[in-house]
Amino acid sequence: MDNSINLSDDTLSKIDEVVPKYPEKRSAALMVIHLVQDELGAVDDASCEWIARRLELQPINIKELITFYPMLREKPWGRKHVRVCRTLPCALRGSYGTCKTFEKKLGVKEGHVSEDGEYSLEFMECLADCGQGPVVIVDEKTYENIDGKTAEKFADLLIDGKLDESDDFNSYEDSLTQGTKN
Amino acid sequence: MSVSTPKERRIILKHADDPNYSNRIGCYLREGGYGNLKKAFSMQPEEVGEEVLKSGVRGRGGAGFPAGMKWKFLDRKSGKPIYLICNADESEPGTFKDRQIMYKDPHQLIEGMMITAFAIGAKQAFIYIRAEFHEGARILERAISEAKKAGFCGNKILDSEYSCDLVVHRGAGAYICGEETGLIESLEGKRPNPRIKPPYFPAVLGLYQCPTIVNNVETLCNVRHIIEMGGEEFSKIGKPNNTGTRIWCVSGQVMKPGYYEFECGSLTLGQLIFDICGGLRPGRSLKAVIPGGSSAKVLRADERFSGTLKDGTEFDWGLEDIPLDFDGPMAAGSMSGSGGIIVMDDTVDIVEAMANVNAFYAHESCGQCTPCREGSLWMRKISQRMCSGGAREEDADLLLSVAKQIEGRTICAFGEAAAWPTQSFVTKFKDDFIRKATDSPKERDPKSLQLI
């Protein structure tokens, strides 16, 4: 198989692992797209063509997925991607204010990437954690109860690269009881 | 708390918030995990199905269709392979229960799925999980590999002749993938345009046109408990036709939002909001409640609901009296749906709340059917215009006429999901809609949050 889009060996082997899990190759399309996008940040035309060849499909079969699903991208987000939930339960707890704070602090309009490519902001639909809204996802971690005011401090820590070490904001994922107690 | 308010009964979420319990297989086994898989494998597959039928368990994804009945519809004569899919796309706004199960107790789902797979004779099983659950997918992958090593999943389960692989499949952020035929299209690697029923009932023509069962996460977990208790015993939990527990997800403007598991019908909407969730913020009063995820019809705080229940008893309820089960919210003209209860207090601008919901459905319509694609966009445009100073008195009727042209004219139930919020908001709060046009203040009340 050619590797014209320069994927890492790790991604290539994950793709080789995931495709045979399905009775039909086409079913693996979303999972392969995710793996490519996770590494490259987006799925451009060359990547569509490569994925199509890998799954014995036409490029349009991949392109039509990229252009339909909200989380699939033709152009990459910023190096740090912030998602804020817009839907009613979070809005009832102030998520419009949260989004505004991030726009101001990160210097980027929602739906866009900052000029230096560092941050991007997405005001998106329900993230299924409505009980603790407003919900914010940074890359792959979910933070709860981030209203407009809290978001100021949150954004400062994010910009300083100190969010992970801060005790003020523990992600939903990090608050799970860890596997050591089995 | 008033004397009569019942306590939570946690069956599905028994270990969810136990600090001494993790999502690893060791904890699950310590608590007797996979014992019910062994029990099920000592039975005939048909017997397992009979127990589920006897339990009366209804689907927890939204429609509330009896799970045992769904399994009965499976086309076994075709000779084609049978598939099982867990719908873990949890995307109805207001719902966050399946997340708790998958992140905190994934083996419960795997055990429920393998029992179900055995009962229906599935060749392969899938978990379709929404892509925003990044870590959830990794937790499930790890749990599946733990289960495979222990012989609970995959090849020759429990040293029997039965094998069934379980695969985690990630979506990519589209609400429509929660609709079962849309989900199937998505799992086939296509755009998730729902299929028309008939003929595409998944139990007959599902994944790869083969017989397929699609069940929600919570439903599949219930299967494990049905086998543990026996269908008959399970059916004694809750009320007739409303068996088992339900996880109610409360969001919005209450003091203690969160997930609460109760026996079906054991408490009222008022008890949940005012006792369990600590009521509203000081000085606020209740304005409206959406009882079953954002597509359910909104209930107005001062509404009266009366009529006759299926069993013949007459009822006359205020909003707070509505019993929380499947049939209660239905009798009140709405639905319990996926169990997502969204609470709004008197600071809420009801037109903005509707505009928020309309923006959601306009964004999420798959675009396959014209009435839904165009109608949901127009409802968004009209309601947004109303909220940005351009409201007209005739907008209320205009919105109703658009909604009416969507309902019943689409391939899947998304059309209704998009139309019902508008229909109920406009009909029940008509004064608010008229006032928006005639008497809208220039400045926003500082207590009233922006919703659109």
Tell me the pLDDT tens digit for each residue of B175-185.
999 999 999 99
CB contact under 8 A, B135 and A125: no
Burial class (CB in 10 A: 0-12, 13-18, 19+), B7: exposed
User: What secondary structure does DSSP assign to A98-131, as a single string?
Assistant: HHHHHHHHHT--TTSB-TTSSEEEEEES--S-GG
pLDDT of residue A178: 61
pLDDT of residue A177: 72
Residues of chain B with Cβ-Cβ distance to A64 below 8 Å are 191
- The tens-digit pLDDT sequence of chain A (182 residues) is 688 999 999 999 999 999 999 999 999 999 999 999 999 999 999 999 999 999 999 999 999 999 999 999 999 999 999 999 999 999 999 999 999 999 999 999 999 999 999 999 999 999 999 999 999 999 999 999 999 999 999 999 999 999 999 999 999 999 997 644 33
| Alpha-helix residue ranges (DSSP H) falling in B277-387 | 327-331, 350-364, 370-385
Mutate to test the interface with B, among A110, A122, A173, A177 (most CBs of B within 10 A): A177
CB contact under 8 A, B348 and A72: no
Q: Coil, helix or strand for A55?
A: coil
Strands B124-129 and B165-170, sheet pairing: parallel
pLDDT of residue A9: 97
Residues 146-175 of A with CB under 8 A from B: 172-173
CA distance A34 to A52: 14
CB contact under 8 A, B257 and A130: yes
Closest CB to B132 among A22, A137, A181: A137
How many CB atoms are closer than 10 A to CB B440?
Answer: 13
Closest CA to B217 of B125, B128, B139: B128
Token duo for residue B307: 């009529």
Chain position carrying tokens 């989900």:
B183
CB contact under 8 A, B186 and A30: yes
> ipTM greater than 0.90, yes or no?
yes
pLDDT, mean of residues B226-233: 97
Mutate to test the interface with A, among B13, B30, B84, B96 (most CBs of A within 10 A): B96
**Residue B1 pLDDT class (50, 70, 90 cuts):** very low
**Residue B311 pLDDT class (50, 70, 90 cuts):** confident
CA distance B175 to B171: 10
Instruction: Flag whether pLDDT at B67 surpasses 70.
Output: yes
Compute the Cα dihedral for B52, B53, B54, B55 and give only its sign.
Answer: positive
Nearest-Cα distance to chain B for A156, in Å, is: 24
Which residue of chain B is at minimal alpha-carbon distance from A100? B450
pLDDT of residue A1: 67
Closest CB to A72 among B93, B172, B348: B172
Mutate to test the interface with A, among B251, B259, B447 (most CBs of A within 10 A): B251
pLDDT, mean of residues B356-364: 98
Is the minimum CB–CB distance between A124 and chain B shorter than 8 Å?
yes
| B288, B344 contact by CB (below 8 A) | yes
pLDDT, mean of residues B117-139: 97
Token duo for residue B408: 């019943």
Closest CB to A181 among B20, B133, B257: B20
Q: What DSSP designation does B274 have?
A: I
Token duo for residue B46: 């048909």
Task: Please list, in sequence order, all residues whose beta carbon lies within 8 angstroms of the beta carbon of residue B408, skipping any fewer than 6 positions away.
Answer: B415, B416
Residues of chain B with Cβ-Cβ distance to A69 below 8 Å are 171-174
CB contact under 8 A, B132 and A176: no
Residues of chain B with Cβ-Cβ distance to A126 below 8 Å are 91-94, 175, 294, 360
Which residue of chain A is at minimal alpha-carbon distance from B171? A30
CB contact under 8 A, A176 and B169: no
For chain B, domains (ranges, CATH) are 25-236 (3.40.50.11540), 239-345 (3.10.20.600), 350-438 (1.20.1440.230)
CA distance A45 to B371: 32
| B307, A53 contact by CB (below 8 A) | no
CB contact under 8 A, A128 and B133: yes
- Percent of chain B beyond pLDDT 90? 96
Q: B211-227 burial, b if ≥16 CB within 10 A, otherwise e?
A: bbbbbbbbbbbbbbbbb
Residues of chain A with Cβ-Cβ distance to B452 below 8 Å are 91, 96
Question: φ and ψ at B391, to 5 degrees?
Answer: -70, 140
Q: Which helix (H) or strand (E) holds B215?
A: strand B212-216
Residues of chain B with Cβ-Cβ distance to A97 below 8 Å are 449-450
pLDDT of residue B3: 55
Residues of chain B with Cβ-Cβ distance to A32 below 8 Å are none
Compute the Cα dihedral for A109, A113, A117, A118 and give only its sign.
Answer: positive
For chain A, domains (ranges, CATH) are 9-66 (1.10.10), 80-159 (3.40.30.10)
Nearest-Cα distance to chain B for A1, in Å, is: 21
Q: Coil, helix or strand for B250?
A: strand
CB contact under 8 A, B208 and A92: no
pLDDT of residue B444: 83
Closest CB to B94 among A130, A178, A182: A130
Which residue of chain A is at minimal alpha-carbon distance from B98? A128
Closest CA to B109 of B56, B174, B181, B36: B36
Q: Any idea which of B57-71, B177-191, B205-219, B435-449 has the lowest mean pLDDT?
A: B435-449
Chain position carrying tokens 């309309």:
B358
CA angle B5, B8, B14 (to 5 degrees): 175
Is the minimum CB–CB distance between A177 and chain B shorter than 8 Å?
yes
| B45, B53 contact by CB (below 8 A) | no
Instruction: Flag whether pLDDT at B337 surpasses 50.
Output: yes
Give the tens place of pLDDT for each residue, B145-160: 999 999 999 999 999 9
Task: Please list, in sequence order, all residues whose beta carbon lies within 8 angstroms of the beta carbon of residue B370, skipping any fewer than 6 positions away.
Answer: none
CB contact under 8 A, A88 and B104: no
CB contact under 8 A, A131 and B340: no
CB contact under 8 A, A92 and B364: no
Compute the Cα dihedral for A100, A106, A107, A109 and give only its sign.
Answer: negative
Which amino acid appears at position B354 of this protein?
Answer: M
